[in-house]
Structure 1
């Protein structure tokens, strides 16, 4: 295992890792369809998530031309509205921008600030440039640089998305750490040679026994303690 002193820059996934994406989307759906019960909200959230995952997979396979997150989220919102019987255009339009209003996890802002005192910290997100700008402002996430997959016209785990961060950081992949709550995201980072850190979050994609990430942590405070030891 490398020593933390070998890390020169830290890159973070944003959606799900730094902000509560499932919880925020569920709350937005509840606002748009207040009569829905808890089971219905779960079903509507699944409609949104399944659409986004399916379309990103189609883009990755070359079955669909790249579409930024704003477009895919708008499609998802219309699918949810159709299923829930939401007919108010204003409510649907607001629902389509729900990904701009996701609350941070309790340790996100403080953990990010703590690490930023020792490393350049970068966000690397599927969110479009415009959506990411507003999400960072809403959630109070202060990066040295925030990068959108829109600039690669691809979605993770496509290698060109991670190379955005490597190019911005200007250091070798083995000295660049990718932090995420999603094992699939860390697999993509490993494929381009990056170090990896899994942070446990509700609703994330937990690692399997066969996974071998560089570090594991239950939260950002624990990860910050590990990475800043002896620095």
Structure 2
């Protein structure tokens, strides 16, 4: 790990708690805009909305749809879900709920962990979120990014190779000088295949107390329980900001 010069982070689930954030926003939104449906489980609603996340990006990955920002994909998925639930609201109400992705809460260790890591190497999201979403989220949650990177910047959605390789190229770094940090094995596997170093962060509550916790399934460079521990590991192994 001594040659790592930047730490790149998956965001949804790794840095922020999307499920609790969306459920909280949905609970308030139903009370205001669909009071006859307040019986709906907000966590189930969050899960069903999130379940449309990967399928919504697949046509773009396959080249059958031009690049489209995640905010747009999230909104399309939300309209589809509301229609499925028989909820008819105006566009402004839909926009208000869609904006919940911009204000997701960080995990308890995220801000302190990112701050510690940032003292060693630059930190940036390598997320499928669009720039305005990630910027708003950072300001709301206090995430200390050095810059905002991700799918909209490189015009490619993870886990396509372009998303990782174009990011490394933007930073003028060889892939092996970049550390991909994620709570998702598929993200790390794709990054590793492109030559990036990998760090698995355990997030057993991403899908709720009863959700699946697969744990690390690959040969990752680092496995940690949270981002504070990752900062300590990087400090011990000599990660540095000096660029060759």
Give the TM-score, by structure 1 length.
Answer: 0.89
Change (3 A) 1:177 1:230: closer
| Cα displacement string for residues 169-222 of structure 1 (whole angstroms, at most 9, x for unaligned residues) | 32221221100011111111111100000001122774454x111110010111
Secondary structure class of the residue paired with 1:6: coil
Residue equivalent to 1:64: 65
| Cα displacement string for residues 91-136 of structure 1 (whole angstroms, at most 9, x for unaligned residues) | 3221111110101111111111111111111211111112111111
Residue equivalent to 2:229: 222
Task: Tell me if the contact between 1:200 and 1:206 (Cα under 8 Å) persists in the aligned partners.
Answer: no
Indicate whether 1:150 and 2:152 are aligned.
Answer: yes
Matches within 5 A, 1:69-88: 69-88=70-89
Matches within 5 A, 1:128-147: 128-147=130-149
Could you list the runs of 5+ residues in structure 2 that have no partner in the other structure? 32-36, 208-212, 239-244
CA displacement at 1:24 relative to structure 2: 1.2
2-structure distance, mates of 1:218, 1:110: 14
Change (3 A) 1:104 1:42: closer
Secondary structure class of the residue paired with 1:144: coil
Task: Tell me if the contact between 1:125 and 1:147 (Cα under 8 Å) persists in the aligned partners.
Answer: yes
2-structure distance, mates of 1:85, 1:182: 33
Task: Tell me if the contact between 2:19 and 2:47 (Cα under 8 Å) persists in the aligned partners.
Answer: no
Matches within 5 A, 1:93-112: 93-112=95-114
Give the TM-score, by structure 2 length.
Answer: 0.85
Indicate whether 1:162 and 2:159 are aligned.
Answer: no
What's the C-alpha RMSD, in Å, of the aligned pairs? 2.0
Of residues 148-157 and 25-34 in structure 1, the stretch that sits farther from structure 2 once superposed is 25-34
CA displacement at 1:230 relative to structure 2: 5.7
Task: Tell me if the contact between 2:150 and 2:167 (Cα under 8 Å) persists in the aligned partners.
Answer: no
Could you list the runs of 5+ residues in structure 1 that have no partner in the other structure? none
Secondary structure class of the residue paired with 1:197: strand
1-structure distance, mates of 2:134, 2:195: 26
Indicate whether 1:16 and 2:13 are aligned.
Answer: yes
